[in-house]
Amino acid sequence: MRAAHTEAQVRAAEEALVAGLPPGVLMQRAATGLAHAVLALLEGAYGRRVTLLVGGGNNGGDALLAGALLARRGAAVDAVLLTGSPHEAGLAALRAAGGRVRRGTDAPARCPTWSWTGSSGSADGRGCGRTRWRRSRPTRRRAPG
């Protein structure tokens, strides 16, 4: 039998944890866990290219901060913003680390992708607990209209 938690249970656990931590620590833990999972997948960062598809909110912030960590390790990181209001601190960190930022409409027409499933962080701060990666087919962006 697999146990699952409701959204309300996860939020309550995170709020209790966050209350005892300095601001931003939980997001840094999630970003670090994600960056380490990517490093393991790519077998290093130097000379690798990483494209982030970034939404809004804290999950987008996790991705941007993970991208900053990867950029500082030598990866060429591009963030494709899929929202008009990305996480500002994550965006600043990525830019400071040398990452490039594009709007969703400026994404490359064809790029290989990896899909990631699992939580980017956990309430106990262990990061990517059940991460599964699989290679996706290269995608093509359709022309508008």
Given a cut of 70, whether residue 126 has pLDDT beyond it is: no
The residue ranges of every structural domain in the chain are 7-106
Instruction: Yes or no: say if 79 and 62 are a contact pair by the CB < 8 Å rule.
Output: no
What is the share, in percent, of the chain residues with pLDDT greater than 70?
A: 71
CA dihedral over 138, 54, 36, 69, signed as positive or negative:
positive
pTM of model > 0.95: no
Given a cut of 60, whether residue 78 has pLDDT beyond it is: yes
What superfamily would CATH give domain 7-106? YjeF N-terminal domain (3.40.50.10260)
Instruction: Yes or no: say if 111 and 51 are a contact pair by the CB < 8 Å rule.
Output: yes
pLDDT in tens, 26-48: 889 889 999 999 999 888 889 89
pLDDT band at 134 (very low <50, low <70, confident <90, very high): very low
How much is the pLDDT for 14?
Answer: 80
Which residue has better confidence, 114 or 118? 114
Torsions phi, psi for 32 (to 5 deg):
-65, -45
Given a cut of 50, whether residue 79 has pLDDT beyond it is: yes
Of residues 43, 60, 73, 56, the one with CA closest to residue 120: 60
